[in-house]
Homo-oligomer: A and B are copies of this chain.
Amino acid sequence: MRSKSDTSSDGIKLSFRLHTLELRHQFTIASGSRKTTPVIITSLEYGGWTGYGEASMPPYMGESHDTASSFLSTLDLSRFKNPFLFDDILGYVDNHRPGNYAAKAAVDIALHDLYGKISGFPVYRMYGLNPDATPFTSFTIGIDTPEALRQKVSEAGPYRILKVKLGGNNDREMIGVIRSATDKPLCADVNQGWKDKFFALEMAHWLYEKGVIFLEQPLPKEYVEETAWLREKSPIPIIGDEAVRGLADLIKFKDIYSGINVKLMKCGGI
C-alpha cells in the first residue's frame, strides 16, 4: 500500500476529455482512408490517486466522440466507495447501456491503472502473468503506394511482425513490395474487402507462398458459410475480427474462424 489514502467517502470520480490523434501518414484500409483517429482520455480519481484510460474509435467500429461522451456522461461511479470491487463496478458499466464497447474499455483500463497505482503492483501481477512471456505485437501497414510502403517498412524497424492491410486494388503488388524490403513474418488483414470466396482461396494460397502467417477477416462478416468453406481449404489460418465482438459471437463463430483478433476496444475491456 502506498502512502496516499486508499479510501474515500466520495467514491470514484470519472472525468474525460476528447482528443483527436493526427496520424503521421494517411491510413487506408478496404473501407476507407483517414488521417486522424478520435480518442477519449478517461480519468478515475479516488483517495488522491488517478488512473487513466483511453478509448480509440476508428470510424468503422461505429463509436465516436459523441457516442462515447454521451455514454460516459451518464455513468455515476460515486456510488462505489471501494475501487477494488471490479466485479461490481465493471458489471454496472457493462449493464448501463448496450454497445459503447470502446467507452467501456476506457473505464476498464483506467480502473486497472488505478488498481496498480493504489496497490503498488503492476496489473500483470493481478492476473498472475509472466511479463517475460508477453507475445510480440505487430506493426500495421495500410494500403498505399510502393514508395510509401517502402518508407513504412523502414519505419517499422523495431517491430518483429508486420500486418498488411489488403482489399484494395493492388494486393499482390503491396505484398511484393513489402516482401522485397523485408523477410519478417507478415499477417494480412482484408477488413471484409473481398466478396468472392474463390478469389479469397486463391489469394490464401498465394499469400501462404509469400510467407504470410494468417489471413484476417477476408470476407464480409455476414459471409458465414463462405468463410467456413474458406477456412476448411485454406493453407493458412483464417482469423475473425469485425465478425466477433463479444462472448456470444465467440460461441457463435467458434467453428467458422481458426482464431480471433481480440481487441479491448471491441469487447469492452480486459
Instruction: Using CB atoms and an 8 Å cutoff, list the residues of chain A in contact with chain B.
Output: 1, 84-88, 90, 119-121, 125-130, 133
Contacts and interface: CB of A to CB of B under 8 A. Distances in A.
- This protein's copies in its complex: 2
A85 B1 CA distance: 20
B130 A87 contact: yes
Given A119-B119, A119-B121, A121-B119, A87 B129 contact: yes
A87 to B, nearest CB: 5
A90 B128 CA distance: 10
Which of A84, A88, A128 has the most C-beta atoms of chain B within 10 angstroms of its own C-beta?
A128
B129 A126 contact: no
A111 to B, nearest CB: 9
Contacts of A119: 119, 121
Contacts of A87: 127-130, 133
B84 A128 contact: yes
Contacts of A86: 127-129
